[in-house]
Chain A
Amino acid sequence: MGKSATRDAYGKTLAEIGADERIVVLDADLSKSTKTALFKDKYPERHFNMGIAEGNMMSVAAGIASAGKTVFASSFAVFASGRAFEQIRNSVCYPRMNVKIGASHSGITVGEDGATHQSIEDIAIMRALPNMTVLSPCDAAETVFCVKYAAATDGPVYLRLGRLAVEDVYGEDASFEAGKGVLLRNYGDDVTIFATGFMVQQSLEAVELLREAGICARLVDIFSVKPIDREIIVKNASETGRVVTVEEHSIIGGLGSAVAEVLSEECPVRLKRIGMEDTFGTSGTPADLLEKYGLNGAAIARKVRDFVSD
């Protein structure tokens, strides 16, 4: 198993599927960072740099899509979802245009660039939009699936990608199902952890630490935040009685809220949300930031242990 950033898998997959002439890729002066440059190297005539103008980029993407194209528009998550929110709402989602938003550099593991560049609210605002699908893959194989799924499915998709090179969770032959979570570990009935993105890797570490401490946890990877897999949430919540969510995102509006919505409607159980606790990040190495905000494996294990024994 190797190590790579989900943005790398994004760029490579775009280059791989780029033979399809319907695919057009836009970037906002960040093509080397979002990795759409890999597509540009192969298909320069279908890669358009939109410059540092994200709002225009999203509406242009919709215009290109109106002619039957599949458009991938990329920037950092904070600018893609935040600066261009209303363009995504009115130009892309309302008319249900075939636009995919490749949002790299999500979460705090952007690192040293600091709070202005760390998107911790994008899942919340993107999943609130009608017609939008929100995908948050944890590793290369899952990203490949998500990019191919997005390309093959009509309508808006938000792809949440990371900057940091992360450990593979899945082998290349892993298979995924759209809209379905993946039960990664099942050590017993004490608690179920639902994690998304890079927090899947951290939670994998946490469930092992918990096991050593005598707590038998389950871990579910929720890469499809919207639509969300209600069935896997309800089943595991009802069997374990306690639920923890982990995300590299605010605990307000993201995965924690999405899971809480399902649980409160279908299977009320105790819930602990782990994520950014209504605070902005700061500059630092990814490892230091994960430690500071309690989002590494050890911190997650600690929080789950406290929750389970509470």
Chain B
Amino acid sequence: MTQNELDFLKLTALKVRRHIIEQVFNAKSGHPGGSLSIADLVTYLYFREIKADPMNPADPGRDRFVLSKGHCAPALYAALAMRGFFPEEDLVTLRKVDSYLEGHPSSREVPGVDISTGSLGQGISNAVGAAIAGKLDRRDYRVYCILGDGECEEGQVWEAAMCAAHYDLDNLCCVVDLNRLQIDGETEKVMNPNPIGEKFAAFGWNVIQIDGHDFGEIGSAFRAAADEKGCPTVIIAETVKGKGVSFMENKASWHGVAPNAEETAKALQEIDNEIKKAEVQNG
């Protein structure tokens, strides 16, 4: 990855983070912690990896994305808006009564959302279905899916894992956002889902471990996933919950709580400082 590309992705991810904080603040509810932990992954997916056209969001040949951890909708909405699927100014209507930006993403309402999610464990099965359809139709689109590590406590994740390997779905690439925290605390204390990579490997998946905030590693992982034939790939991405906002980092308490005005100002200040630095680097 060139330095220019890296600078661009860093700056874009900062803008995604800014949108996340603004959305959740305006909604007075939502999930900042996990949205921030997947911000770099979602940025890479929507600005480098996923082939989809904002002018033709229902193109049958498009790549699919399923946010299995649907509560992190603010990250997805930010990326979709910045890619032009809908106006960026609509982001602040998140969770408002007549907004199409539901608390969890709805495929019936939001341009660019391929599949409705929100109930944990179901998104990965939806992604398996989309991948099966791709194989049936002999289309070369790929299906991407982001899961939470806490979500891997859902039995359905492993039903889907079994099914994807059984049908050799090499057009499916899942990412586990391994931030090690869930609502009630550390995943290892609440209900230990680890080691998640070994479990997927046992089900017959290609497993890649990366730092989920390192764009070089993210890019290499998606390329390796695309090259893998005969089985699905899971990228285990080590992340930091709340990444990019100092007082939210590694705190389970920021899973599903909106920042107040003061906290929002502080968070935006931190992000804006980083944006200024990144803009200088971007020239």
Give bound CA distance, A15 to B156, whole Å. Answer: 30
- Within 8 Å of chain B (Cβ to Cβ): is A68? yes
> Inside 8 A of B191's CB, which chain A residues have their CB?
none
A69 interfacial contact with B, CB 8 Å: yes
Chain A residue at smallest Cβ distance from B163: A56
Q: Would you call B167 and A59 a contact (CB within 8 A)?
A: no
Interface residues on A, range: 20 to 34
- The reply to whether the CB of B187 lies closer than 8 angstroms to some CB of chain A is no
- Taking a contact as CB atoms under 8 Å apart, the answer to whether B160 and A59 are in contact is yes
A-B complex: 9 closest residue pairs judged by Cβ atoms:
A63-B129, A59-B125, A67-B133, A56-B159, A63-B126, A53-B159, A60-B129, A95-B116, A64-B129
Among A66, A90, A95, A96, the residue within 8 A (CB) of B130 is: A66
User: In the complex, are the beta carbons of B136 and A59 less than 8 A apart?
Assistant: no
The residue of chain A having its C-beta at the shortest distance from the C-beta of B145 within the complex is A63
A56 and chain B: residue at smallest CB distance: B159
Contact A90 B163 (CB under 8 A): no
User: In the complex where A64-B129, A68-B60 touch, is A90 in contact with B156 (Cβ < 8 A)?
Assistant: no
**A48 contacts chain B at the CB level, 8 A cutoff:** yes
Of B40-48, B106-114, B199-207, B211-219, the stretch lying at the interface with chain A is: B106-114
CB-based contact B132/A90 at 8 Å: no
How far is the CB of B64 from the nearest CB of chain A, in Å?
8
A24 neighbours in B (Cβ, 8 Å): 133, 136
A interface with B by C-beta (< 8 Å): 24, 45-46, 48, 50-51, 53, 55-56, 58-69, 86-87, 90-91, 94-96
Complex Cα distance, B128 from A224, in Å, reads: 32
Say if the beta carbon of B192 comes within 8 Å of chain A: no
Contact for B156 among A51, A55, A69, A96, CB less than 8 A: A55
Cβ-based interface call for B208 (8 A) = no
Contact A91 B125 (CB under 8 A): yes
Given A51-B163, A66-B114, A95-B115, A46 contacting B127 (CB threshold 8 A) = no
16 additional A-B pairs beyond A51-B166, A55-B156, A87-B125, beta carbons within 8 Å, are A45-B136, A56-B156, A59-B126, A59-B156, A61-B129, A63-B132, A64-B133, A66-B126, A66-B133, A69-B136, A87-B156, A90-B116, A90-B119, A90-B122, A91-B116, A95-B108
Q: How far is the CA of A253 from the CA of B166 in the complex (A)?
A: 39
From B115, B130, B163, contact of A53 by CB (8 A): B163
Q: Name the A residues within 8 Å of B60 (CB-CB).
A: 67-68
What bracket does the count of chain B residues touching chain A fall in? 20 to 34
Max chain A Cβ within 10 angstroms of own Cβ: one of B108, B115, B118, B126:
B126
Q: Given the known A-B contacts A59-B122, A90-B118, are A66 and B107 also in contact in the complex, defined by CB atoms under 8 Å?
A: yes
Complex contact B129–A62 (CB within 8 A): yes
Give, as a whole number of angstroms, the nearest-CB distance from B170 to chain A. Answer: 16
With contacts A46-B136, A90-B116 known, is A63 near B130, CB below 8 A? yes
Chain B residues within 8 Å of A67, by CB: 60, 129-130, 133-134, 137
B210 within 8 A of A: no
B162 at the A/B interface (Cβ < 8 Å)? yes
Which residue on A lies nearest to B132, using beta carbons?
A: A64
> Interface readout for B124-162 with A: 1 if CB under 8 Å, 0 if not?
011111111110110000000000000000011001101
Cβ B159 vs Cβ A94 within 8 A: no
Per the bound structure, the CA–CA distance linking A91 and B160 in Å amounts to 14
Q: Chain B residues near A95: list those with CB within 8 A.
A: 106-108, 115-116
* Residue of B123, B131, B156 with most partner-chain A CB within 10 A: B156
15 CB contacts below 8 A, A to B, read: A45-B136, A51-B166, A53-B159, A56-B125, A56-B162, A58-B125, A59-B123, A60-B126, A64-B130, A66-B64, A67-B134, A86-B119, A91-B125, A95-B115, A95-B116
